[in-house]
Amino acid sequence: MKITDIRERSFPLDSPLRNAYIDFSQMTCSVVAVETDVLRDGKPVTGYGFNSNGRYGAGGLLRERFLPRLQAATPNDLLDESGSNLDPFKIHTCMMSNEKPGGHGERSVAVGVVDMAVWDAVAKIEERPLNRLLADRFGGDVPADERVYVYAAGGYYYPGKGLEALQDEMRGYLDLGYRDVKMKIGGASLTEDLARIEAVLDVVGKGEHLMVDANGRFDLQTAVAYAEALAPYGLKWYEEAGDPLDYDLQAALAKHYGLPMATGENLFSLQDARNLIRHGGMRPDRDWLQFDCALSYGLVEYLKILAMLRDEGWSSRRVVPHGGHQMSLNIAAGLHLGGNESYPRVFQPYGGFADDVEVVDGFVGLPDCSGIGMERKAKLYELLQTV
């Protein structure tokens, strides 16, 4: 077999919503298609990948560095031992040739997008859902989970959005079948944010059904002020209080907040994830880790991160990836993670799961189709075919 074509294109995300740090009106997303000469149902197998929201598309890097390396490679550099399928590990090595260590965020999105497309193609060539392929190859003797815990991430700051609109949004998520919801904090004053939190608690009932996300906005003093104000609510978690690379802040905050915290979506490599575990004071009995493969070199790197966590005494069930995409959903099911983020009405058409998959009491199943399952999401598939 061989790769016959690799195409990439950037699309606008084009969304007016805002968190504590950025608005998404100028955000872009890279989409990659890896086409092979393997035929299934009479058509060449094509794998698709895209990057998660929160980081811009990486078209320049893909065109200048990573795709040319794959195009110049020999079949032996890209294929598995049988020669009949792609080898994601070899492809990762090929893309990372001539790259220095460190500086991960500069390129981890570009590599992650290609990695997603490669795994999609690998599973399609094997004619299996990716989650089952992952469980077989890397999940020990445990089959893939049949359903995955999901929560609805929303509660963004929109221009002119008041408390009633926020409550309506959250009520909508519960109506869709979600049990837990997440909202942004740190984009308003503490007083205003507490009013927003209480408005959402009126809808979801208990604090255990609500997470809050500061998107790395706070200094230690502000993070602690929020921690003290949040503690009485008993929230499910307090997410990304300070700068994602300020491990000292995270560790200091843990001394002021005994309840669960979450972070990791802006750490893009094994080394950064390991530093969080070494120095961030994260507690394996209650905290949550949110590394997102689509932003951090893809699944090849993610497998190394999961192995590191195992060695450090963390259960894979404490990992609930950021991003709300089907790749992480497959990883969550196949590698027995704790769940997956979900964006029911934002970041479309990338966010969300197959069209016919329903959320039932906060869990989703996975479609029975080969690959990641993007073909089962009509609006996304329509866009992928234009790449």
Binding site for Mg ion (CB under 5 A): 213
Coil, strand or helix at 245: coil
Residue with tokens 């080394």: 271
Residue 87 vs 213, nearer CB to Mg ion: 213
Q: How many CB atoms lie within 10 A of CB 288?
A: 20
Q: How far apart are CA 21 and CA 310, in angstroms?
A: 33
Residue 96 vs 319, nearer CB to Mg ion: 319
Nearest approach, Cβ of residue 211 and Mg ion (Å): 9
Name every residue whose Cβ is closer than 8 Å to that of residue 194 and which is 6 or more positions away in sequence: 229
Q: CB-based burial of residue 256 (10 Å sphere; 0-12 exposed, 13-18 middle, 19+ buried)? A: middle
Q: How many CB atoms lie within 10 A of CB 301?
A: 24
Interhelix angle 108-125/326-334, nearest 10 degrees: 60
Q: In the bound complex, which residue of the shown chain has the CB atom lying closest to Mg ion?
A: 213
Residue 92 vs 318, nearer CB to Mg ion: 318
Nearest approach, Cβ of residue 267 and Mg ion (Å): 12
Nearest approach, Cβ of residue 387 and Mg ion (Å): 27
Nearest approach, Cβ of residue 266 and Mg ion (Å): 8
State both tokens at 349: 């058409």
Residue 193 vs 213, nearer CB to Mg ion: 213
Nearest approach, Cβ of residue 380 and Mg ion (Å): 22
Q: How far apart are CA 70 and CA 8, in angstroms?
A: 13
Single out the catalytic residue among 92, 184, 209, 377: 184
**Is-contact 284 314, C-beta < 8 A?**
yes
Residue 341 vs 375, nearer CB to Mg ion: 341
Residue 184 vs 377, nearer CB to Mg ion: 184
Residue 292 vs 375, nearer CB to Mg ion: 292
Q: How far apart are CA 244 and CA 215, in angstroms?
A: 9
Confirm whether 182 is a catalytic residue: no
Q: CB-based burial of residue 132 (10 Å sphere; 0-12 exposed, 13-18 middle, 19+ buried)? A: buried
Nearest approach, Cβ of residue 254 and Mg ion (Å): 18
Nearest approach, Cβ of residue 249 and Mg ion (Å): 16
- E strand spans, 193-305: 210-213, 237-239, 261-263, 288-289
Q: How far apart are CA 153 and CA 263, in angstroms?
A: 14
Confirm whether 256 is a catalytic residue: no
Furthest-apart CA atoms within the chain: distance in Å: 62
End-to-end CA gap in the chain: 22
Single out the catalytic residue among 322, 325, 336, 377: 322
Would you name the residues annotated as active-site residues?
Answer: 184, 322
